[in-house]
């Protein structure tokens, strides 16, 4: 195979992977707190049997766009959006995991849990339980949860939500369902704030993502057309050589 075909095939391989990333972004355009991903590509030189080098394309990594999504109002008092750089800590069967998805509910025991049933942790790394006697839950910007005792109308403090951040958030490993894990030790997200009755939307722009998808499709098709023509040229050349040798 000629060098030009190697270059074209490396480009097509990269474009296929890029399309997978874009398709995943589009599929999560309505997923709360989802962060769009993008590919980091790198050009590298590959030695050949001759003296020249081939400039090849290689996908280096997939990174998340950590910019915050829009905050939208809801009517659920346990819809809690993070405004700023931070993550909730939740307890799972594999230990603490981290998420920005703040759609919480109360389970049958009064524990605040996410949609997978994982308990939300407080500043002491304990699940937060709300006494059944309390009503009108309030969550302040620093994560303090209070409720009202209907018998005497007195407010009681339930606990304080733990918000954490990481020095290298791009190294967080995505587990699905909005959860992440890392070997890095979390630190207190002292500048992040919680907004009650709100949810963070996905930061995917559907129009731009669709445009990007079309652009990648066109590049892939253009490269495919080039390979088809190159294959036709090679067959024609071999046919001519075969006729010349007879």
Q: What is the pLDDT of residue 1?
A: 47
Instruction: Read off the pLDDT of residues 22-49 as tens digits, 9 standing for 90 and up.
Output: 999 999 999 999 999 988 876 665 555 5
Query: What 3-state class would DSSP assign to 193?
Result: strand
Instruction: Give CA–CA dist 135/16, Å, rounded.
Output: 53
Please, what is the angle between helix 206-245 and helix 3-27, to 10°?
160
Q: CA of 179: how far to CAs of 70, 99, 114, 172, 175, in Å?
A: 19, 5, 10, 9, 5
Banded model confidence at residue 220, pLDDT cuts 50, 70, 90: confident
Average pLDDT over residues 49-70: 74
Integer Cα distance of 226 and 8 in angstroms:
8
Decide if pLDDT at 9 tops 90. Answer: no
Residue 31: per-residue pLDDT: 93
- Out of 53-62, 74-83, 141-150, 182-191, pick the least confident: 53-62
Report pLDDT for 29.
Answer: 95
Residue 245 has pLDDT above 70, yes or no: no
Average pLDDT of the chain, as a whole number: 88
Q: Quote the pLDDT of residue 242.
A: 65
pLDDT digits (tens, 9 = 90+) for 223-243: 878 777 766 766 676 666 666
How far apart are alpha carbons 139 and 80 in whole angstroms? 8
pLDDT given for residue 200 in this prediction:
97
Tell which wins on pLDDT, 90 or 7: 90
Domain edges within the chain: 3-65+204-245, 71-200
**pTM of the complete model:** 0.82
Specify the higher pLDDT residue, 55 or 89.
89
Residue 84 or 40, more confident: 84
Query: Which residues, 6+ apart, have CB-to-CB distance to 186 below 8 Å?
Result: 87, 89, 98, 164, 165, 166
**The pLDDT of residue 55:** 58
In the DSSP assignment, the letter for residue 222 is: H
d(CA 227, CA 5): 7
Calculate what percentage of the chain has a pLDDT beyond 90: 68
């Amino acid at each position: 195979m000629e060098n030009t075909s190697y270059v074209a095939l490396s480009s097509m391989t990269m474009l296929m992977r890029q399309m997978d990333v874009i398709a995943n972004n589009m599929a999560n355009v309505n997923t709360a707190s989802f962060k769009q991903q993008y590919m980091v590509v790198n050009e590298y030189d590959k030695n050949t049997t001759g003296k020249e080098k081939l400039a090849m394309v290689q996908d280096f990594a997939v990174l998340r766009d950590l910019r915050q999504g829009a905050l939208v109002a809801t009517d659920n008092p346990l819809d809690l959006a993070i405004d700023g750089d931070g993550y909730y800590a939740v307890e799972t069967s594999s230990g603490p995991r981290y998420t920005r998805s703040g759609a919480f509910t109360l389970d049958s025991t009064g524990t605040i849990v996410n949609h997978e049933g994982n308990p939300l942790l407080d500043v002491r790394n304990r699940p937060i339980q709300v006494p059944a006697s309390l009503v009108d839950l309030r969550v302040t910007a620093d994560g303090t949860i209070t409720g009202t005792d209907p018998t005497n109308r007195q407010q009681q403090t339930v606990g304080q939500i733990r918000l954490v951040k990481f020095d290298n958030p791009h190294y967080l490993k995505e587990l699905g369902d909005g959860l992440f894990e890392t070997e890095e030790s979390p630190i207190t997200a002292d500048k992040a704030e919680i907004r009650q009755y709100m949810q963070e939307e996905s930061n995917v722009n559907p129009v731009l993502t669709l445009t990007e998808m079309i652009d990648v499709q066109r590049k892939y098709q253009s490269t495919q057309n080039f390979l088809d023509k190159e294959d036709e040229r090679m067959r024609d050349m071999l046919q001519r050589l075969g006729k010349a040798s007879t």
